[in-house]
């Protein structure tokens, strides 16, 4: 265990050195890692690279001109990275469970797998023709062999570290040949991406970049996802590979591909919300559903017995949902689903234990009603099943899970589910008819969800999980260069809309928004700074906006808040005074102004404003509290007592009792003060003394001597433990 930790630490150090192009230090660590992994030959390779690097540095130190120096350094970096990859491969084979299946399979070369797959496809096609020609002959279609060859191809591609000779061209020809099965071609793209994420090779990246322009939607979608994840994975090393740089430049010239890449990026970013949605469903929605289920079952049973029509029964169920607030929660969930959020993960994560999902290949398989595992459900022109499986808000992996569940349910429960899915089916179909791009976007999002499920739920874990690193996307230089200023702003706005302010801030700054005269963008940038606690930077931007568009209430509010957090109370008051000139009767602004006056210890002025607010809102308990305490700080103890007594006893909190206790103490009413101190302690034992000290600090001047404060503290200490 300790040895494994040491190896992991060395790998992390090496990765850091290589990413910062500290080649000398990397070449010192590479032999150390090789020795730990018992790879003597690789240690020797590191020594060879080190020797060449020493010679190059000597030439530099001697002042020898060398036009090839930059190219040589790039080649040495590539060799160091390649050696690092080989060592990581050895480590993963020893410590990652997914590699166990390599030994369980007799994997063939990529060329052999492609040849066998082609032969299997030809056999299936031939048998199909024979069945058409001889309808009365029961000719067996060898689909089982085809499925095996497709699965073998997936593993062959995944476990390929290096393409040799013309293997990359062969794979490219297979994927781009539209006569081949589109499902198998699509899974091959996923296998290629996972292979590239596992083990870097230029040829893999170049092939995936080229596939991002393929006209088959499922191929292009998967390749675009691969582009984002590979740029994330290899952000720090891409500058070492000239061919990759050229491919990125060519990609950037394809405006349609860049636009789709932007959409893919947003889908990937959205996966960061999945766990929060799961938590919300489990902790908020499911308890309500469990609570209402018995009543709902009774109503449904009564409807069946009384032969009530289904619409009436459904209306009664909806009324029940309304009563407990469940309808609103479900509508929020539906809205999130329409936006593309993954609301199904919580339900379907428990349905990945079917044997079908023991095979990694099946997690990425596009859904087909002809698949041997589910085709029995679609026999007999089952219109509902066909319609249900056309919903693109359910990813392919979940559709298979859903079918496996349906195979185990009685017909009566399936009828009930029809009603539940009816509205969803109609909604999606209507939207797809009005928006030609929606199908592509939904399918891309669903593929991302399939990937997320695999990396999250597949028992045999990968050595690299891209979804763990999505928070680093804002730092991927090559990605943002591809998107350009317009794309960067679009994605930054998406981050902003998801309240991911730190990431939005990074991308806004990349696009030099601070230099813009666009007040909308400046406002977003300022607010992002504000939300991450960078108050001074936010204030500078708000001030700039105020000069461009003065007298904006929202801007003045934020400026006041920033001034307060920067310790500039007088400037904050100035902003509130400007606000009150714009909206003199705005209670919220008046309350903020009074609070700011209080914080500046201008108690008399604060009290005057609080009285004004109270005149129009006599039942506002927060205002009553403020008046009671401010009056006391101004020496008006009787007035303070009066306003504390106006607060309903049931609504008094610990700080109210504590402050009131000091008021009673100042009036020499020790009995009442004792009762109030004890009540304050009972309301909040944990915070009592910190609150006591903060209140006492304000009253040091009003208490006659330090000795009096000490005596009071000692007295309260004895009192509360009676």
Question: What CATH number should be reported for the domain holding residue 43?
Answer: 1.20.120
Half-sphere exposure of 196 (CA within 13 A, CB side): 27
Which CATH number does the domain housing residue 497 bear? 1.25.40.10
Which residue would you say has higher pLDDT here, 98 or 535?
535
| 3-state SS class at 646 | helix
In a domain, 650, yes or no: no
Both 298 and 442 in a single domain?
yes
Q: How far apart are the first and last CA of the chain?
A: 54
Which residue would you say has higher pLDDT here, 711 or 563?
563
Q: Which of 561, 585, 613 is the last residue of a domain?
A: 561
Q: Which helix (H) or strand (E) holds 380?
A: none
Both 381 and 432 in a single domain?
yes
pLDDT of residue 701: 59
pLDDT of residue 377: 81
Both 230 and 213 in a single domain?
yes
Decide if 95 contacts 87 (C-beta within 8 A).
no
Q: Which domain holds residue 246?
A: 104-253
In a domain, 341, yes or no: yes
Which residue would you say has higher pLDDT here, 484 or 419?
484
Both 400 and 375 in a single domain?
yes
Q: What is the mean pLDDT of residues 23-40?
A: 92
Q: What is the pLDDT of residues 336-378, one digit of tens each?
A: 777 778 888 888 888 899 999 999 999 999 998 888 888 888 7
pLDDT of residue 139: 44
Both 279 and 417 in a single domain?
yes
pLDDT of residue 693: 86
Q: What is the mean pLDDT of residues 228-253?
A: 93
pLDDT of residue 301: 64
Q: What is the mean pLDDT of residues 10-31?
A: 93
Both 298 and 432 in a single domain?
yes
Average the pLDDT over each of 339-343, 384-388, 488-492, 695-699 and give the range with the smallest value: 384-388
Total tally of structural domains belonging to the chain: 4
Q: Sort residue 340 into left (φ over 0), alpha (ψ -120 to 50) or beta.
A: left
Q: What is the largest CA-CA distance in the chain?
A: 111
In a domain, 621, yes or no: no
pLDDT of residue 374: 87
Q: Which of 221, 253, 285 is the last residue of a domain?
A: 253
The angle that helices 242-252 and 477-497 make with each other, rounded to 10 degrees, is: 50
In a domain, 353, yes or no: yes
Taking all residues of the chain, what is their mean pLDDT, rounded to a whole number?
Answer: 85
* CA 35 to chain centroid: 39
Q: What is the pLDDT of residues 135-167, one digit of tens each?
A: 544 444 567 788 888 999 999 999 888 898 789
In a domain, 169, yes or no: yes
pLDDT of residue 187: 95
In a domain, 607, yes or no: no
Decide if 629 contacts 657 (C-beta within 8 A).
no
Q: What is the mean pLDDT of residues 557-576?
A: 95
With a CB cutoff of 8 Å and minimum separation 6, the contacts of 438 are: 431, 432
Residue 164: how many other CB atoms lie within 10 Å: 11
Both 420 and 508 in a single domain?
no
Which residue would you say has higher pLDDT here, 110 or 103?
110
Q: What is the mean pLDDT of residues 611-618?
A: 90
Please report the beta strands in 617-696, taking only residues with DSSP state E, as ranges in sequence order. none
Token pair 């036009």 is at which residue? 67
Q: What is the pLDDT of residues 391-412, one digit of tens each?
A: 777 899 999 998 888 888 776 6
412: tokens are 């009566």
Decide if 478 contacts 232 (C-beta within 8 A).
no
The angle that helices 202-211 and 242-252 make with each other, rounded to 10 degrees, is: 10
pLDDT of residue 602: 93
Q: What is the pLDDT of residues 265-290, one digit of tens each?
A: 999 999 998 888 888 787 777 776 67
* Cβ neighbourhood burial of 576 (10 Å; 0-12, 13-18, 19+): buried
Decide if 681 contacts 658 (C-beta within 8 A).
no
Distance (Å, whole) CA 633 – CA 647: 18
Q: What is the mean pLDDT of residues 619-624?
A: 91
Q: Which of 171, 215, 214, 219 is nearest to 195 (CA)?
A: 171
pLDDT of residue 670: 85
Q: What is the mean pLDDT of residues 481-509?
A: 94
Given pLDDT bands bounded at 50, 70 and 90, which one contains residue 323? low
pLDDT of residue 578: 95
Q: What is the mean pLDDT of residues 579-589?
A: 92
The angle that helices 569-582 and 587-599 make with each other, rounded to 10 degrees, is: 160
In a domain, 361, yes or no: yes
pLDDT of residue 138: 47
pLDDT of residue 684: 87
Both 295 and 420 in a single domain?
yes
pLDDT at 192 over 90: yes
Q: Which of 466, 495, 521 is the last residue of a domain?
A: 466
Both 412 and 555 in a single domain?
no
- Predicted structure pTM score: 0.84
| 3-state SS class at 558 | helix
With a CB cutoff of 8 Å and minimum separation 6, the contacts of 382 are: none
pLDDT at 11 over 50: yes
Q: What is the pLDDT of residues 416-442, one digit of tens each?
A: 666 556 555 555 555 555 555 678 888
Distance (Å, whole) CA 493 – CA 521: 9
pLDDT of residue 304: 60
Both 109 and 237 in a single domain?
yes
Distance (Å, whole) CA 168 – CA 204: 8
Both 503 and 550 in a single domain?
yes
In a domain, 260, yes or no: no
Both 338 and 433 in a single domain?
yes
């Amino acid at each position: 265990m300790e040895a494994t930790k040491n190896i992991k630490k060395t790998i992390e150090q090496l990765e850091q050195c290589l990413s910062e192009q500290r080649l000398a230090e990397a070449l010192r660590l590479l032999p150390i890692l090789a020795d730990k992994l018992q790879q003597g030959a690789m240690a020797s390779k590191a020594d060879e690279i080190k020797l060449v690097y020493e010679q190059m540095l000597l030439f530099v130190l001697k002042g020898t001109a060398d036009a090839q120096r930059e190219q040589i350094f790039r080649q040495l970096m590539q060799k160091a990275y390649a050696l690092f990859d080989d060592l990581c491969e050895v480590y993963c084979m020893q410590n990652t469970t997914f590699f166990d299946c390599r030994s369980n399979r007799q994997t063939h070369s990529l060329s052999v797998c492609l040849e066998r797959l082609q032969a299997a496809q030809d056999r299936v096609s031939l048998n199909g023709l024979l069945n058409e020609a001889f309808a009365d002959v029961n000719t067996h279609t060898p689909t089982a062999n085809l499925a095996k060859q497709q699965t073998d191809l997936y593993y062959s591609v995944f476990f390929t570290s290096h393409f040799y000779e013309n293997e990359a061209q062969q794979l490219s020809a297979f994927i781009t040949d539209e006569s081949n099965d589109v499902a198998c071609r699509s899974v091959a793209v996923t296998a290629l991406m996972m292979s590239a994420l596992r083990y870097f090779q230029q040829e893999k990246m170049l092939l995936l970049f080229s596939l991002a322009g393929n006209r088959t939607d499922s191929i292009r979608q998967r390749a675009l996802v691969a582009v984002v994840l590979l740029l994330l994975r290899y952000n720090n090393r891409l500058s070492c590979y000239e061919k990759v740089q050229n491919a990125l430049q060519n990609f950037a010239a394809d405006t349609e591909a860049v636009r789709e890449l932007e959409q893919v990026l947003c889908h990937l970013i959205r996966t960061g919300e999945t766990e929060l949605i799961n938590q919300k469903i489990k902790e908020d929605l499911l308890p309500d559903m469990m609570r209402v289920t018995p009543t709902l079952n009774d109503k449904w049973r009564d409807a069946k017995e009384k032969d009530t029509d289904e619409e009436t029964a459904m209306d009664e169920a909806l009324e029940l949902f309304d009563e407990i607030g469940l309808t609103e929660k479900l509508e929020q969930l539906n809205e999130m689903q329409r936006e593309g959020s993954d609301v199904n993960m919580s339900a379907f994560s428990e349905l990945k234990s079917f044997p079908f999902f023991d095979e990694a290949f099946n997690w990425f398989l596009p859904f087909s009603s002809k698949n041997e595992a589910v085709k029995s459900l679609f026999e007999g022109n089952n219109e509902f099943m066909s319609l249900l499986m056309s919903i693109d808000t359910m990813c392919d992996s979940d559709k298979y899970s859903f079918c496996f569940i349906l195979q185990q349910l009685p017909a009566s429960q399936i009828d009930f589910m029809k009603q539940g899915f009816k509205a969803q089916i109609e909604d999606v179909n209507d939207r797809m008819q009005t928006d030609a791009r929606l199908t592509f976007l939904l399918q891309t999002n669903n593929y991302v969800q399939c990937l997320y499920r695999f990396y999250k739920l597949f028992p045999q874990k990968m050595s690299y999980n891209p979804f763990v690193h999505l928070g680093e996307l804002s730092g991927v230089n090559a990605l943002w260069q591809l998107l350009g200023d317009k794309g960067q702003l679009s994605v930054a706005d998406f981050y902003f809309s998801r309240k991911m302010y730190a990431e939005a801030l990074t991308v806004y700054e990349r696009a030099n928004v601070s230099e813009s005269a666009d007040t909308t963008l400046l406002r977003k940038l300022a607010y992002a700074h504000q939300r991450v606690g960078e108050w001074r930077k936010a204030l500078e931007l708000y001030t700039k906006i105020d000069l461009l568009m003065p007298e904006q209430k929202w801007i003045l509010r934020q400026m006041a808040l920033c001034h307060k957090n920067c310790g500039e109370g007088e400037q904050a008051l100035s902003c509130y005074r400007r606000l009150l000139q714009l909206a003199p009767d705005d209670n919220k602004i008046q309350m903020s102004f009074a609070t700011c006056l209080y914080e500046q210890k201008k108690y008399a002025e604060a009290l005057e404003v609080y009285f004004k607010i109270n005149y129009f809102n006599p039942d506002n308990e927060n205002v009553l509290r403020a008046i009671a305490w401010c009056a006391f700080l101004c020496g008006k103890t009787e007035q303070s007592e009066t306003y504390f007594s106006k607060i309903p006893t049931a609504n008094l909190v610990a700080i109210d009792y504590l402050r009131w206790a000091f008021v009673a103490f100042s009036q020499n009413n020790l009995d009442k003060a004792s009762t109030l101190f004890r009540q304050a302690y009972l309301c909040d034992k944990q915070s009592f003394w910190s609150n006591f000290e903060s209140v006492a600090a304000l009253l040091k001047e009003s208490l006659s001597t330090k000795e009096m404060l000490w005596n009071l503290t000692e007295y309260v200490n004895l009192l509360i433990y009676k």
